[in-house]
Amino acid sequence: MNSGSIASLAAATLVAGFAMTVNGATPGVRAVTVAEGVAMGWAVAFLPGGDLLVTERAGTMRRIGAGGALGKPINGVPAVVFRGQGGLLDLVLDSRFEANRTLYFCYSAASEAGDANSTALARAKLSADGTRLDSLRVIFQQSPMVDSRAHFGCRIVESPDGNLFLTLGDRFSRMQDAQTLDNHHGKIVRITKEGTAPADNPFVGKAGALPEIWSLGHRNLQGAALDAESRLWTTEHGAQGGDELNQPQAGLNYGWPVITHGVNYGGGKIGEGINKKAGLEQPVHHWTPSIAPSGLAVLTSDRYSPKWKNSIFAGSLKFNYVARLTIRDNKVASVEQIIDLGQRVRDVRQGPNGFLYVLTEAPKGRIVRLEPIAPGG
């Protein structure tokens, strides 16, 4: 393709105020750059009018405007623990953002003494000019805090009932905690927007159980999304092998570390070295060897091939690609790699315009839009 053709294509693919340039292609779909220079980005959110918000793990939240220019850091973001896997992580807008300017984000927060940390979920309002966060309030804190650099989890999903799901890692050194209900390690929690436990949560009123818990037995969940029927889907990292796709149900136990399809790093069994046990849930799908999944979207739009609708799209940190999983009868019928982006894939989202957007994680990462290629194009 000559430079004139590229310029014509870029001009023809302006979406939501962004100037885009083609930077890669595979059969069926191509990546069109929306913005670049994002420093170790973790999450992207879509503002009304076409601008974006992005989080950078070192603790910066930025607005991305027309033409893909990264704005100055937004003021009011709290201090984060930026070490290991920690930092400023997921970000979602409230379903009524246009009316209330409210957003939610999670991050690695330190204890007062600075000797421990855990995942915190905060609520704030984005100022009308988009330059600062107002009315900041931490509405949930993972308990207990521990001294760890790993497994913060940290994906947020708002359900149609207005409650929030938050995924929480096992903190690596505390993997046995994933099997007990007196802590938030290795759990999915479900809370109200005020941070309280809804009355219909599965463990409300159970002695010794934290009422926020929705499901248990997880390792490190870094992907979460709702499908067209408002069912929650998640992906989580196994150890060496055993990455999982699950559809977490209220009160169920997903097995970690009692059962797993993976092994310890470098080899050797985990626990009893089994992958099935009565009373513990099997994943809908597992990846062995691992792909290190992060970022998850369920396509509900008609922007692509009809075969793609209702498919699940998962990013791979390890192999730099986006995978499409076809779901039939609540089971994975097929898995295919749709595009290799050459950088770790951290977030995958369906935009308001129905297209899939992908955030890559690198010192100079980028946000791309996945655009269908017409036959012969």
Whose structure tokens read 């007062």? 112
Q: Are 69 and 33 in contact (CB under 8 A)?
A: no
- For residue 107, what is the DSSP state? E
312-316 and 293-298 strand pairing: antiparallel
Burial 26-38 (b: 16+ CB within 10 A, else e): bebbbbbbbbbbb
SS3 298: strand
Q: What are the C-alpha distances in Å from 279 to residues 19, 255, 353? A: 52, 9, 42
Q: What is the DSSP string of 241-287?
A: B-EEEE---TT-B--TTTB-S-B-TTS--STT-BS--TTSPPPSEEE
Which contiguous run of DSSP H or E holds residue 240? none
Instruction: Considering only the C-alpha atoms of the chain, give the largest distance between any 2 of them, rounded to a whole number of Å.
Output: 69
Asked if 208 contacts 287 with a C-beta cutoff of 8 angstroms, the reply is no
Q: Is the alpha carbon torsion for 257, 189, 290, 328 positive or negative?
A: positive
DSSP three-state, residue 100: helix
Told to judge if 151 belongs to the known catalytic residues of this protein, a careful annotator would answer yes
Going by C-alpha positions, the residue among 298, 289, 287, 282 that lies closest to residue 224 is 298
Question: Which residue, chain included where needed, has tokens 């946000």?
Answer: 367
Candidate list 151, 185, 218, 237, residue with the active-site label: 151
Amino acid at 106: C
DSSP code of residue 354: S
CB 81 within 8 A of CB 133: no
Catalytic residues: 151
